[in-house]
C-alpha cells in the first residue's frame, strides 16, 4: 500500500511529530509513505518527496513541518481540482492522510465525498475544530502566550502602564481565554463577546482606585468592538476566503489611553505563537493521532478524522469536524470573569 501525507494551512508545533508517527507506524505495517509537499499545492503540482525512517529521524522536537505548507485550495482555481485528482492516481496513492485545520480538512471532506480515500488529522493553534476536544498545536501556542503575558506583568508594573497583549484567534478565543486565565490577565476579550470599551476602562479605573497602577488586557485578533466590523490589515482574501486580521490591539490601546489618561502599550504576539518546539502534550497528542490515522487507513475507514475525546483517540466523520467552528466554552469564560479587575 502507498500512503500520501500532506500538511496544509498555517504551520504549528506538532506537525513533525505527526509525520514521524505516520511514517514509523506505516513502515511497521509494510506500507510505503510519500510526502506531498506544501499542502494541497503539492497534490495539484505533483510535488512529492520520499519519506522513510531516516527522513523523520530527529524531527520530533522541531516546530513547523518538513513537508512545507500552503493555503492553496484546489476548489478555487479552475483546473486545479482535476489536476489534484489526476495526480492522486499518477502518484499511485491508495490513501491520503491530510493534516490541517478547518480549511485543509474542508477540502479533504469534499474530496472524500468525491471518492478519494482520505483520512484527516486535526491541527490548529486556535483549537476551533469540532468533534475533537483538543487539536495539537494549541497547547504550545497557549504556553507561549502565557509566558509572554507573565513577562508583560513585570514591565507593566514597573512603568505603571496598561499593557494590551494581542494573541491569535480568528473566530474563537481559546488562546486568549486560557492564556489570560493562566497569566492572570485583568480583562480577556474574545471574538465570541463584543468589546465594550467603557466596561474595559471602568475595570482599569477600579483597579487604580484600589492602588493597582497597572493592568494586563488580553485580546484575540478576531475580537470586535460593539457595533463595528473586524479590524483588518487588508481586505484582500486568501484562497480560503480569509481576510488578513491585525490591529485590534493598537486600536484598543489608543481608546483606553484616550479615555483613561493612563499610558497604554500593546504587544502583538503574532507568529511567535506558531513557532518553536512543541510541548510534551503536543508531541504526545501528535504521535497518537498519527498512529491512529495509519490504523484507519489499514482498516479502510476513509472519510474519517482522528480525534481526542477525553483521554481516548477515536475517529469521527470528516464532515462533522468541519461543519461548524468550535467556539469558546462560555462557562469557562464566566470563570475568567471572576478575576476581571
- Mean pLDDT, 10 residues at a time, over the chain (341 residues)? 95 96 97 97 97 96 96 93 96 97 94 96 94 95 95 93 94 96 96 94 93 94 81 61 73 94 93 92 98 98 97 96 92 94 77
C-beta separation of 163 from 265 below 8 A: yes
- pTM score: 0.92
Predicted pLDDT of residue 165 = 96
Residue 327: inside a domain: no
Residues 73 and 181 in one domain: no
Query: Both 198 and 304 in a single domain?
Result: no
Q: Is 117 helix (H, G, I), strand (E, B) or coil?
A: coil
Same domain, 162 and 107: no
pLDDT reported for residue 227: 74
Shared-domain flag, residues 216 and 92:
no
Same domain, 244 and 306: no
- pLDDT attached to residue 30: 96
**CA count, 13 A, side-chain hemisphere, 203:** 21
Catalytically active residues, by annotation = 126
Q: How far, in Å, are 20, 71, 125 from residue 42 at the CA level?
A: 19, 11, 23
30 within domain boundaries: yes
Q: How many residues does the chain have?
A: 341
Tell me the residue range of the domain where 25 lies: 2-137+278-322
Claim to verify: residue 118 and residue 20 sit in the same structural domain: yes
215/132 same-domain check: no
Same-domain status, 133 and 143:
no
CATH number at residue 164: 3.40.50.460
212 and 293 assigned to the same domain: no
Quote the cell numbers at residue 199: 466596561
CA distances, 135 to each of 20, 95, 161, 328, 333 (Å)? 17, 22, 35, 14, 20
123 lies in the same domain as 77:
yes
CA–CA separation, 304 and 341 (whole Å):
44
Whole-number Å distance between alpha carbons of 3 and 23: 9
10 lies in the same domain as 125: yes
C-alpha cell read off for 182? 493562566
The H or E element containing residue 214 is: none
Domain count across the chain = 2
Report helix, strand or coil for 65. Answer: coil
Amino acid at each position: 500500500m502507498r500512503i500520501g501525507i500532506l500538511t496544509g494551512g498555517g504551520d504549528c508545533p506538532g506537525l513533525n511529530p505527526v509525520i514521524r508517527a505516520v511514517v514509523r507506524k506505516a513502515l511497521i505495517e509494510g506500507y510505503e509513505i510519500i510526502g506531498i509537499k506544501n499542502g494541497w499545492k503539492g497534490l495539484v503540482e505533483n510535488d512529492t518527496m520520499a519519506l522513510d525512517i531516516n527522513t523523520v529521524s530527529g524531527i520530533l522536537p522541531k516546530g513547523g513541518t518538513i513537508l512545507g505548507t500552503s493555503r492553496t485550495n484546489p476548489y478555487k482555481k479552475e483546473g486545479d481540482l482535476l489536476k489534484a485528482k489526476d495526480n492522486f492516481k499518477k502518484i499511485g496513492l491508495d490513501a491520503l492522510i491530510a493534516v490541517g485545520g478547518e480549511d485543509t480538512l474542508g477540502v479533504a471532506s469534499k474530496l472524500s465525498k468525491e471518492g478519494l480515500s482520505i483520512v484527516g488529522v486535526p491541527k490548529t493553534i486556535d483549537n476551533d475544530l469540532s468533534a475533537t476536544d483538543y487539536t495539537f498545536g494549541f497547547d504550545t501556542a497557549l504556553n507561549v502566550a502565557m509566558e509572554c503575558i507573565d513577562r508583560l506583568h513585570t514591565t507593566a508594573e514597573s512603568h505603571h502602564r496598561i499593557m494590551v497583549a494581542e494573541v491569535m484567534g480568528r473566530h474563537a478565543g481559546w488562546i486568549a481565554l486560557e492564556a489570560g486565565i493562566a497569566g492572570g490577565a485583568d480583562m480577556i476579550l474574545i471574538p465570541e463577546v463584543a468589546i465594550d470599551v467603557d466596561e474595559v476602562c471602568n475595570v482599569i479605573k477600579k483597579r487604580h482606585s484600589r492602588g493597582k497602577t497597572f493592568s494586563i488586557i488580553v485580546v484575540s485578533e478576531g475580537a470586535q468592538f460593539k457595533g463595528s466590523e473586524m479590524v483588518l490589515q487588508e481586505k484582500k482574501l486568501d484562497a480560503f476566503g480569509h481576510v488578513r486580521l491585525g490591529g485590534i490591539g493598537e486600536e484598543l490601546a489608543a481608546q483606553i489611553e484616550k479615555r483613561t489618561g493612563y499610558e497604554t502599550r500593546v504587544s502583538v504576539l503574532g507568529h511567535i505563537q506558531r513557532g518553536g518546539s512543541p510541548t510534551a502534550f503536543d508531541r504526545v497528542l501528535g504521535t497518537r493521532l498519527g498512529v491512529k490515522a495509519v490504523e484507519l487507513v489499514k482498516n479502510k475507514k476513509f472519510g474519517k478524522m482522528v480525534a481526542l475525546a477525553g483521554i481516548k483517540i477515536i475517529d469521527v466523520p470528516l464532515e462533522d469536524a468541519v461543519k461548524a467552528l468550535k467556539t469558546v466554552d462560555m462557562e469557562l469564560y464566566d470563570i475568567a470573569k471572576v478575576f476581571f479587575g
